[in-house]
Every structure is written in C-alpha cells, then in structure tokens.
Amino acid sequence: MRVEAGEHGERVERPATTTARIVGVDVARALAVLGMFASHVGPDPYDGGVDTLVQGVSGRASALFAFLAGVSLVLMSGRTPLRGRNRHSAAAVTRVLIRAVLLIPLGMWLADLDTGVLVILAFYGLYFLLAWPALWLDTRALVLLAAGWALLGPIASYLLRTSRDTGDIRYAAPGFDDWHGPGDLFETLFLTGSYPAITWLPFVFAGMAVGRLRLTDLRVQRAFVGIGTGLAVLGYGGSWLVVELFTGDRLAREAAPYGVFELIHSRVGSVPVSDPAWLTVAEGHTGTPFEIVGAIGVALGVLGLTLLACRAWIGRIVLDPPICVGAMALTVYTAHLIAIDRWFPLAAGQTWERLLAFVVVTLLLCWAWRHTLRKGPMEAALHVLSALPARWVRGAARPAGPSRPQGGGQEGGQEGGPAATGSMAQGSDR
C-alpha cells in the first residue's frame, strides 16, 4: 500500500502499483483470441466430422473475454474496492470511462467492414459504462451481484423483448452504416444485439469478483479449477436434465418444422420469445441462466489452469508466445478483422489451413513485437488517451509519506487486459 493525501488533507491508503503482469491472465486471453480465430476463419463446425471440434468455442471464447474484462477492470483500479469519493477513485473511474467511450466507435467502425463478423467491441464499451459503479463493491457483493444478474437478467430480457416485440432480431452488431440515433444504439447494445449487456454483465461482475482475490495464491488457483468445473456441470448439465425431463417436448413443438438445435443456432444473443421454455437451454450465445452459469464456469476453470501453468519459470517460457498475444488482444482483434476484410474474405472458404496460418502468424508477430516495442499499438493508444486525463484528475493528491509495499503488489495494473482492450469477440461464431 502507499499513503497519499486526500482531497481535504487526510491520509488515505492506496494500493501499491507495479508494472508486473499476471501472465496467466494473458494466456487465458490468448486462448480466447485463438478461439475467436476458430470461429471466424476456421471450418464450419456444423458440417460434422472433426470440424465439430470448433463448436466447443462457440459462446465460450467471447464469454471468457467478458469475464477477463472484469478481472482486468479490478486490477487496473487497484484490486481492492474503491473507497469514498476522492481523487483516487475519480482517476480510476476516468480511466475506465474513457476506454469505454473509445471502444464504442471503434467497434462500430469495425462492424462496418465487410467481414461477416458480429463485432463485440461496441457492446464491451457499454459493459464498462454500466459496470464502473461496481468498483466500490467487495468480493462477496460482486459474487451476489453476478449470481442475481445471471438469474434475473435473462428473465428481464425475455419480458422486455416480448413487450417491445423485438424477440425475432437474430443478428445485430451496430455500425455507423446503420446509425438510427443514440436510442436505437443503446437498445441494440443493451437488449436486442448479439451480445446484449442485459445478459452479459454477469460475466463482467464475476470477473471483477475473481480479480479481488489473490490470483498468485496456489490454493486460489486450484479453487478456480474446482469451482469452475462445478459451475460448468451445473449450467450445462442442469440444462440438459431440465430439457430432457420437462421442456424438451415443448421446445420441439415450438421449433417445428426445424429442429431445436437448428433454430437455436440460427440466432446469436438471445432465445425466441414464443415460450419461456427457451430459457432452459444452454447453447452458446443464448443468454439463458444455464448458459451464463456454464460459461462462467468454463472461464473460471480456464483461468485457474492458465494461472497454474504459469507458476513455474519453464511454463512462462513455453507459453511466452500466447502471453504476448494476450497482452496485445485489442491490436490482434482489430488487425485480424482488417485482414479478413482486405485479403481473406470469408466467402473464399473457412478451412483448417487458414485457421492454422492465422494462429502461427499471430503468435510470431506478437512475440516479435512484444520483445522489441512492448505495448501493442492499440493498447498504447488507449493507455495514453486514458492515463493522461486520469493523472490530471488525480493531480491534487500528493504522497504524504513513503510507500510501503504489502502483499498482493504484483497483482497491480494489467494494462493489456480486457478493460484496456475491450474484447475481441466471437463475431458470428458461424
């Protein structure tokens, strides 16, 4: 911790900052990036055969990004809950809000490219705009908030879409080309779009709760794996049981003449509003309580495994290329969409060869960049644009005594994290 003078001269303790990164978080983010690659340029998972392996990332990679965004949101603000209304808190919120505001137009610009990808960045901007008040909450409150939102958010989405007659919107990622005003933009980002905040905020809140913990503690890392596995079984297994025993016949009738599976995968972001029984499914991108719990479990388990893998020096050496990818996630996401738009149109085919080429080139370029120029260009730009105003807001606070580092210091700011990068989404996942 360090001691600073508050706005009225009082002594205020602040978390000690450091440049050290928790590289296990970067590896988890890299896995989500590669999962996004599989969805965007890999083979169609619905063709059957070995291509079905790609289906495993559908919905899970983008949920992992949102989860990690919550982790980095907390790490960036100092890991401990903000206290009161002072310059330190105002500076932390300033950084978050500026990054959030910048992500929305960036996401809209990328959505206008001819890629066929449902870009998630604009949605992430709204997530951060809505989540910043939770920076004052402790771990227990964040867990309760995530759990309550996971249960009530999908129900509220269903009821709102029913009352507004918007339940049949299947694909929506806003761009400037289809601009219809701020009200329509908010409705798309919050309710009717492909990654609506009303059902995606639980991932952010769950990540924030995890970010409050000591991520370098072995017991915590093992607990992540165990608890994550349990949540995944509860979400996906619970949905399977409920559908098999209670709602399967109703869903089959509602889906006719198509199958339930085909109807679910013809939409991204929400379930039909023809019957509440749709809230019992757990397929990716359905935004149901079962899917949210299961995807949080997968994200937590993946984070636990990557943190464990990076404990030993040999693990950090072997995983250095994906660490570099995860630290440059926004740059990677932006670059891959531009590459698809200009040189690799999806209409030319999605194959294992193209997926392998994207993965290998990305690993090599990010490794070379990080070991020469450090920050990715997009990450550096966001840092400058947000850190300078935050420094000005905090300017009146001056150190009142020597810094005295205490435990957990290495869990300080994660500049390349999802809070800085937004997230690099799943796009169409088709």
Tens of pLDDT, residue by residue over 103-122, are 999 999 999 999 989 999 99
- Give the global pTM: 0.88
Q: Does 9 have pLDDT greater than 90?
A: no
* pLDDT number for residue 171: 83
Residues β-bridged to residue 4: 12, 399
For the chain, give the mean pLDDT. 86
Note the pLDDT tens digit of each residue in 36-50: 888 888 887 766 555
3: β partners: 13
Is 182 exposed, middle or buried, given 0-12, 13-18 or 19+ CB atoms closer than 10 A?
exposed
Cα separation of 47 and 205, whole Å? Answer: 35
pLDDT in the model for residue 313:
95
Residue 104 gets the label, from left (phi > 0), alpha (psi -120 to 50) or beta, of alpha
- In the predicted model, is pLDDT for residue 18 greater than 70? no
Q: What is the pLDDT of residue 406?
A: 35
Residue 423 to residue 295: CA distance in whole angstroms: 16
What does the alpha-carbon distance between residue 288 and residue 270 come to, in Å, rounded to a whole number? 8
Can you tell me whether residue 213 is helix, strand or coil?
A: coil
Inter-residue contact 316 to 225 (CB < 8 Å): no
Q: What pLDDT score was predicted for residue 2?
A: 44
Per-residue pLDDT, averaged over 12-29, amounts to 68
Q: Sign of dihedral through CA atoms 185, 188, 193, 198?
A: positive
Indicate if the pLDDT at residue 76 is higher than 50. Answer: yes
pLDDT grade for 56, boundaries at 50, 70 and 90: confident
